[in-house]
Amino acid sequence: MRVIGGRWRGRRLRFPAVEGVRPTPERLRETLFNWLGREVEGGRCLDLFAGSGALTFEAASRGAARATAIDASRAVTRALARNAQTLEAGDAIEVVQARVARYLQRSPAPADIVFVDAPFAHPEWADAALARLAEAGWLAPCALVYVEASAHGRAPIIPAAWQRVRSQRAGDAQALLLRADAIDARRC
């Protein structure tokens, strides 16, 4: 996997061949970070179901104050930590080995941008994560939530108060960018 923008642009990162781990394709990452623009700079990002860490590393490379990668797999989190060390990321990247459902039971640390890219075989995991984010104080005012899901399965269940900002289908994936504070989106 290659970082496509920011200070680590062009750096190649390794990740283990773990079933269900698929990096967000470069084309889709480029689209996502074009959508986000300067929102990433100085922001607090949370990458649920981090997998390859493509979104974590891309956000940190583009100036996020902190990008936290959460994944249940020990092999995955070890690889993420090694890659962060290789990049000399310091405090810009935090890696947490935990099931997302359990992690979201903790006291929330509000995020400005959240990436939800559950395994395509488990859309219910994305649904549960989105519901928990909506109710538990994990989102800063005007937070953006990116959801990547299978283009061939059902769409994720989006909390009612959230607004769809952008969407795109790319290959096997559908990408959604949501504004979690849709009720007062004018101030965002």
Task: Tell me which H or E stretch contains 114.
Answer: strand 111-116
Residue 31: predicted pLDDT: 94
Domain CATH number, residue 43: 3.40.50.150
C-alpha span between 157 and 142 (Å, rounded): 20
* In-domain check, residue 19: no
* In-domain check, residue 145: yes
* In-domain check, residue 95: yes
**pLDDT tens digits, one per residue of 27-67:** 899 999 999 999 999 999 999 999 999 999 999 999 999 99
Q: How many domains does the chain have?
A: 1
Residue 112 bridge partners (DSSP) = none
Ramachandran area for residue 113 (φ above 0: left; ψ -120 to 50: alpha; else beta): beta
* In-domain check, residue 20: no
* In-domain check, residue 78: yes
C-alpha span between 112 and 57 (Å, rounded): 16
Residue 182: predicted pLDDT: 58
Per DSSP, the residues of 16-61 read ---TT--PPPHHHHHHHHHHHGGGGTT-EEEEET-TT-HHHHHHHH
- Is 8 exposed, middle or buried, given 0-12, 13-18 or 19+ CB atoms closer than 10 A? buried
Q: What are phi and psi of 186, to 5 degrees?
A: -60, -30
Residue 80: predicted pLDDT: 96
* In-domain check, residue 101: yes
**pLDDT tens digits, one per residue of 94-130:** 999 999 999 999 998 999 999 999 998 899 999 999 9
120-146: average pLDDT:
94
Structure tokens at 50: 């981090």
- pTM as predicted: 0.94
Q: Give me the domain span that covers residue 32.
A: 6-14+25-187
* In-domain check, residue 1: no
* In-domain check, residue 43: yes
185 pLDDT band, cuts 50/70/90, is low
